[in-house]
Amino acid sequence: MALIYITGIETAGKSTVCKELLRRGYEACDIDEGIAHYYDKVTGEQSEWNGSSERRTREWHKTRHYMMDRKHVKQLAKQAQNKPIFLCGTTQNDKVVLDLFGELVYLYLDEATLRQRMKNRLSTEFAFAPHEQEAVLSWHKSSEDTYRQHGATMIDATQPVERIVDKIIKKVQ
């Protein structure tokens, strides 16, 4: 068995896929629920999520990284030796934990769908604020290319979630 990383650009549906995996009885974790945190770029100390889009300014983002806790991911990888465990999300330091995953799955979508989905974000979610949307759009193509180069299974995230999860399950069985 293995730890399976389900990643993709913001709004690709990683959290929705995580919920569907849980609904089907699989062990799945959303990295936004305690596995990844914001860290101050200078001090390295954990920083709280700044909540509302008014407080998440461009300057606030410039001073922080969103990163996974490697120890936590390593522990999940150890647990996944006996059963598949899915880790769903994306961070700025994915490359430092990729060696812990047995499978990579990348949810991709076209730019028009990405733009449309960002319009529907809540103000408390990343990619709501205009400067966050600019950043996401600038990462869109390079993120997809990076995961292709790492051998990720590429899945079209514009499909219904049930079909996406069926493809993920088929890939890892």
Q: What is the DSSP string of 70-102?
A: HHHHHHHHHHTTSS-EEEE---TTGGGTGGG-S
Q: Residue 42: inside a domain, yes or no?
A: no
Q: Residue 145: inside a domain, yes or no?
A: yes
pTM score, whole prediction: 0.93
Amino acid letter, residue 167: K
Residue 159 to residue 136: CA distance in whole angstroms: 21
Q: Residue 63: inside a domain, yes or no?
A: no
Res 50: pLDDT: 67
Res 1: pLDDT: 66
**Polymer length in residues for the chain:** 173
**Which CATH number do you get for residue 108?**
3.40.50.300
Number of independent structural domains in the chain: 1
Cross-strand bridge partners of residue 154: 106
Domain residue limits at 116:
3-34+72-168
Which residue, among 32, 16, 33, 34, has the nearest Cα to 168 in the 3D structure?
Answer: 16
Q: 164 and 157 in contact (C-beta within 8 Å)?
A: yes
Strands of the chain (E only): list them.
3-8, 27-30, 36-40, 46-47, 64-68, 85-88, 103-108, 153-156
Which residues of the chain, if any, have pLDDT below 50? none
Q: Residue 156: inside a domain, yes or no?
A: yes
Q: Residue 139: inside a domain, yes or no?
A: yes
